[in-house]
Every structure is written in structure tokens, then in C-alpha cells.
Chain A
Amino acid sequence: MIQVFRRDVVLSIRSGGGFGLALIFFLIVVVLVPFALGPDQSLLAKIGPGLLWLGALLACLLSLDRIFGMDYEDGTLDLLATSPLPLEGVYLAKSAAHWLTTGLPIALAAPVLGVLLNLNFYVSGVLCLSLLLGTPTLSLIGSFGATLTLGVKRGGLLLSLLVLPLYIPTLIFGALAVHAAALGHTFEGPLIFISAISLGAIAILPFFSAAALRINLS
């Protein structure tokens, strides 16, 4: 499993499309927000947390179809499926690699971009924490969706259609935590929920994803 993880990280760094792109997309979304809503500092501070979460979610979507799509097209997935590695493990390794190259950079960059949206230091910290706990779920759900749409030609749009509704609970609790922090309330509750969803996703999605992969390969 660690080999697949390492290989996927190397591949996404070398192929230019993966590593930086999601982060740059995230940056552009955040930069565009004041143009759409006006430069009112207090308004930006109010909606900033939610917008940063939404931006992170959309940035995660960008590279989802590559997680399995590339390996499916060039035949590597067949070879992985006949190797001693369990497909559940392949799924987890690939999701982890996706998170390392999209979710993690986004979570780390979010506090910096929070400055642009007039978020204070404390709120930015909570935002970063909530993204760190929540983005693994985004990668896990996303690559589950990718296993479903593997055989569909130009399935990118369909993939977003399937995956976005599944993102709703994570988005709700993620944004809730940051809003609670901004209002000075306790934010541990939503963070616990995000972590619980992440752990639940790790527990159940590998089996469904491996099943979907087997169906698609046969």
C-alpha cells in the first residue's frame, strides 16, 4: 500500500496537473470573492469561513477523476487488481495520496488566504484545523465516486454530481466549527463530528470502493 501511495504522490508532482493546480484554483476562487461581493471588510469576515470551505471543496473536485482514471486507461489498474495488494488498500493509498497533494496544501494555505478575507488569527487557526480534519473525508468520498464513474466516458461532470451531495455533512460541520469560533462559541462539537465522519468513511468506503472497482474491471 505504501508503494502505491508513494508512486501516486510522485506521479502527481511530476505530471504538473495535480499538486499545484488545486491550490492555485483555491487561491483564484478566494481572490474572485471580493469582486463578486464588494470589498466590505466586515461582510468578508462574516462569510469568509464558509467561502474558504466551499473553495476547498471545489478545489478537491478538480483532480478526482485522475485518481483512478489514469490507471484505468493505461492498464495499470488491471495489473494492480491482479497483484497481491487488496483493492481496499489500493483505494486507501490512492485517497491518501490525493489528500496529501490537494487537501493538505489547501488546509495549510487557508489561514494565509483568510487574511485576504479579513479573518483574524484565531478564526484562521480553527479554519485550518477543521480543514485538516475534514479534507481527508473529501478525498475518501471523492475517490469512492471516482470508482463508480470509472467506465463512463467524460465522467467528470457526473462525478461531481454524485460526489457533491455526499460532501454536505462535512461542509456543514466544517463551516459550523469556523462560524462558532468567529462568534466566540465553543467549536469542539462540530470538529468531533467532522472527525467522526472521516473515521466512518475510512471504515466503510474501502469495501464499497473495492466492490465498485471489481465491477468496473470485469
Chain B
Amino acid sequence: MLEVANLSVGRGGISLLNNVSFSLKAGQGLVLRGPNGIGKTSLLRSVAGLQRPLCGDISLDGSIAYAAHVDGNKGQLTVRENLNFWADVYGSEMMEVALIAFKLHDLGQRPAANLSAGQQRRLSLARMLVTGCKVWVMDEPTVSLDQENTALFRVAVERHLQLGGIALLSSHSELELNTETLDLVQFRASQRIIVSAFDKALE
């Protein structure tokens, strides 16, 4: 269960989104749509607990796994070592499953630095499976994936939802996932500058 109520987020003194509310039950997914710079990343970072929202509540039961729009793979480590590290961190045994799900088993011994951009992305998506977390929060997950690999991703997300997981994704293009979408344009903040209580008191 992931519930977001009246969430407002901003970045670098600029207010981006106001009063975003949605609620996801087990097995539900949601794709956040919107043009570049609207605040998708800030919203997802707030949900993941990396960034303090301007106001609003986020309630969540279950653990959360976050994938940023950069991959976060270590070039000096092999594909297996990269995944193994996260498997250790999360205490999970999903590594072999993840390798197969994203067709990485043949690349297991290859250093991540030698992977193509699409392969890098697949590795970072495989990491989500490895975490074993119930809630997936993914920022632009299909960037640099071709059609075939996007299909792999789609299967993985749908499987995750079937097993009772939750997925919150962002994308600036159509993902063709069997989930609801939420257009963020309607929440775009009208007052762009964040005025803190301190600054307000000065007026």
C-alpha cells in the first residue's frame, strides 16, 4: 500500500508540483507522465525518502526499491558482482532469477564498463528484482532500451504486479503498460518560487 496525499515538491528554490494525491494498492502500478522538467524526478525522490517534500504525506507499508535515471552500476565490477552486492545488501536470493529475466546470464562475467547503454539499463532493472522489495519506484526506466528490451521490462513489471507488488514509474513517453497513468501537467505549481516562512515574514 502506497498512499500519497497532497504532496508538493520543488527543487533548487523552484516549486514544481502542488497537491499530488494518489493511492496504490497491492498489485497496482502507476505511470507518471509529463514533459521534461515538470518534477517527475523530485516527486519520485520524495516518495523514495531521498528528498524532503515541501508539504504533504507519504504513507507506505513494505520496503521500497528506487532506481534513478542514472544506472548506478560499477564499471570495474562484473555484472554478477554488481548484482551480488545488492543481493547481499537486501539479503535476497533472487539473483539468478533476475539474470534470466533480463537476459543477462550470458554477460555475467563481463565488467559493467564494457556493457552497452541498453545492457547497463537492463542491469539496473535487474537490480530492482534482486532487492525483493514490494514497492518499485523507477525514474524513466525505459530510457535507452530498444523495443525488444522494453518488452522484457514490461513483462518484469507485470509479473511484479501479479505477485502483489506495487510499481510507481515515470516516463515522458508511452510505456504501453497495463497500468493507470497520471498526467502531472494538471498539478503544475502556479506559484513558481518557493517562499519559506522566513522569507514570508520579511514581506
Least distance between A214 CB and chain B CB atoms (Å): 9
Least distance between B75 CB and chain A CB atoms (Å): 8
Which residues of chain B are within 8 angstroms of A3 by Cβ–Cβ distance?
85, 88-89
Check A85 for interface membership: any CB of B closer than 8 A: yes
Query: Would you call A7 and B85 a contact (CB within 8 A)?
Result: yes
Least distance between A72 CB and chain B CB atoms (Å): 11
Q: Given A3-B85, A7-B85, A74-B70, does the pair A82, B48 have CB atoms closer than 8 Å?
A: yes
Q: Which residues of chain B from 1 to 60 have any CB-CB distance to chain A below 8 Å in the complex?
A: 45, 48-52
Size of interface on A: residues with Cβ below 8 Å to B: 20
Size of interface on B: residues with Cβ below 8 Å to A: 27
Closest B residue to A7 using CB positions: B85
Query: Would you call A7 and B72 a contact (CB within 8 A)?
Result: no
Of the residues B65, B73, B74, B81, contact of A82 by C-beta under 8 Å: B65
- In the assembly, what is the distance between CA of A10 and CA of B75, in Å? 12
Q: Given A7-B85, A217-B50, A218-B50, does the pair A78, B72 have CB atoms closer than 8 Å?
A: yes
Check A79 for interface membership: any CB of B closer than 8 A: yes
- In the assembly, what is the distance between CA of A81 and CA of B45, in Å? 11
Query: Would you call A15 and B72 a contact (CB within 8 A)?
Result: no
Chain B positions within 8 Å of A, measured between CB atoms, are 45, 48-52, 63-68, 70-74, 76-77, 81, 85-86, 88-90, 127, 131
Could you list some 30 contacts between A and B, CB below 8 A? Answer: A3-B85, A3-B88, A3-B89, A4-B89, A7-B74, A7-B77, A7-B85, A10-B76, A10-B77, A10-B81, A11-B76, A14-B76, A74-B72, A74-B74, A78-B45, A78-B68, A78-B72, A79-B67, A79-B72, A82-B48, A82-B49, A82-B64, A82-B65, A84-B63, A84-B89, A84-B90, A217-B50, A217-B51, A218-B51, A218-B52
